């Protein structure tokens, strides 16, 4: 689709604000989802004047990771472009990735040992404070500089997250990142030993397995973060930038490294945000509104509360975002999108395959069906249900940036 869009692009000075409330979709408790239970007068009023519907992050029945879900939203088919979260985390933390490098997302975790076998008690180590993360990463990097001649660069992320880049003496190869995550995705399970799907990947996996063992020994005395789980093992792909694909001067407003990383991957300028708060993100949008024509704004804590099973906490963050909707409207953007990257129902405590509510506010919408912003209302909206990869085409059309196709 991007090749078709390139031929139809027509420049103009329209402004697009693309708001992603991470994990927005939910499931009912006492008859309402988190979004429906939240008090959102501003979003409800906006939905009544918008095209509403729901999108499928990947495809029917497929539960997406955050990286795949964001690629879909940005118009890069996640069924074609499979990109490991480690790359996005590393880019978001400012690390440079070459063809000789493997990037990995690290999660500090709490394990107990049954004999010599670790068993995961908490996959996120109680979401340790970022300051504690930095101390533990320093403890590791002081002792591990390389493994079997492979240089190791590890940096702290937020809370329990980190990024690791392994720099090999020569290029990895196209399939060198086909390595299983070590995160079992469930408490009560043992971490998975890194193994590769081919000879190139197996060489990398052996280095990763040694690194994990060395880290485990170094941090075994920590109270909570006494183990490191690895996810999203990846090399750097080659994607068209937002400027090339859509003719947009795009900017990212996000505080979490992974989302800053996926934005860098598609050529967005990552803007500096003062604090990790919705208020600071809105202030950044206001500050730089004249400098770009597309703004991706990411709100993380909706997803975090969903993963923690905190229904009221998730609804509370949605309500906080709603209170800033008038500030966005006051900037008078030509197109406003509000959606999530995927669903994270609190009663599942995990990402899910459920469709995600969506609104597009622009002057050329029918605004039919939705009386408020929630799953049930969006199900009745004019956009229906469609794959997220088609959303950017709709956004560009509503912004008047696409010419007529064909004679």
Mean pLDDT score across all residues of the chain = 94
Of 25-29, 171-175, 369-373, minimum mean pLDDT range = 171-175
Asked if 322 and 42 count as a contact pair (C-beta separation under 8 A), the reply is yes
- pLDDT per position as a tens digit, 348-382: 999 999 999 999 999 999 998 899 999 999 999 99
- Residue 174: pLDDT above 90? no
| Cβ-based neighbours of 244, under 8 Å, separated by 6 or more | 6, 267
Is 248 in the same domain as 341?
A: yes
CATH number of domain containing 340: 3.40.720.10
Q: Average pLDDT in the 287-299 region?
A: 98
pLDDT tens per residue, range 70-125: 999 999 999 988 787 788 888 888 888 888 899 999 999 999 999 989 999 999 99
SS (H, E, C) 21-34: ECCEECCCECCECH
The answer as to whether 403 is a domain residue is no
User: How many percent of the chain have pLDDT more than 70?
Assistant: 100
- C-beta separation of 352 from 361 below 8 A: no
Domain count, the chain: 2
Q: Are residues 263 and 391 in the same domain?
A: yes
Last residue of a domain, one of 199, 234, 269: 234
Q: What is the pTM of this model?
A: 0.79
Range of the domain at 100: 89-234
Residue 405 within a domain: no
Residues 6+ apart with CB under 8 A from 289: 15, 295, 331
- Domain assignment present for residue 230? The answer is yes
pLDDT at 97: 86
Task: Find the range with the poorest average confidence among 233-237, 254-258, 337-341.
Answer: 233-237
Of 217, 234, 251, which marks where a domain is finished?
234
Assess whether 288 and 376 both reside in one domain: yes
């Amino acid at each position: 689709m991007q090749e078709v869009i390139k031929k139809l692009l027509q420049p103009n000075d329209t402004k697009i604000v693309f708001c992603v409330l991470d994990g927005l979709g939910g499931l009912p408790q006492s008859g309402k989802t988190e979004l429906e239970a939240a008090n959102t007068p501003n979003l409800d009023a906006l939905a009544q004047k918008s095209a509403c519907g729901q999108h499928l992050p990947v495809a029917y029945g497929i539960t997406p990771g955050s990286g795949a879900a964001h690629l879909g939203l940005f118009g890069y088919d996640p069924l074609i472009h499979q990109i490991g979260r480690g790359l996005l985390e590393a880019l978001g933390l400012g690390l440079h990735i070459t063809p000789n490098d493997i990037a990995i997302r690290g999660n500090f975790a709490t394990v107990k040992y049954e004999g010599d076998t670790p068993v995961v008690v908490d996959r996120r180590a109680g979401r340790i404070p970022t300051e504690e993360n930095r101390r533990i990463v320093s403890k590791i990097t002081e002792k591990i500089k390389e493994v079997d001649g492979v240089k190791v660069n590890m940096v702290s992320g937020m809370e329990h997250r980190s990024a690791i880049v392994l720099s090999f003496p020569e290029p990895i190869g196209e399939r060198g990142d086909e390595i299983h995550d070590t995160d079992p995705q469930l408490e009560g399970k043992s971490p998975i030993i890194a193994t590769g799907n081919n000879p190139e990947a197996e060489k990398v996996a052996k280095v990763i397995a040694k690194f994990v063992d060395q880290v485990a020994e170094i941090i075994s005395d920590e109270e909570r973060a006494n183990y490191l789980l690895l996810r999203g093992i990846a090399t750097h792909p080659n994607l068209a930038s937002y400027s090339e694909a859509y003719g947009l001067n795009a900017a990212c407003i996000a505080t979490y490294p992974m989302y800053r990383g996926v934005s860098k991957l598609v050529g967005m300028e990552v803007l500096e945000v003062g604090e990790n708060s919705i208020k600071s993100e809105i202030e950044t949008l206001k500050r730089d509104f004249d400098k770009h024509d597309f703004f991706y704004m990411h709100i993380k804590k909706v997803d975090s509360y969903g993963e923690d099973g905190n229904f009221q906490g998730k609804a509370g963050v949605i309500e906080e975002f709603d209170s800033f909707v008038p500030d966005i409207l006051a900037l008078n953007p030509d197109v406003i999108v509000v959606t999530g990257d995927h669903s994270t129902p609190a009663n599942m405590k995990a990402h899910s395959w459920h469709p995600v509510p969506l609104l597009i506010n622009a002057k050329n919408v029918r605004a039919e069906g939705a009386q408020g912003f929630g799953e049930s209302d969006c199900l009745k909206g004019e956009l229906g249900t469609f794959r997220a990869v088609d959303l950017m085409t709709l956004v560009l059309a509503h912004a008047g940036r696409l010419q007529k196709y064909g004679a």
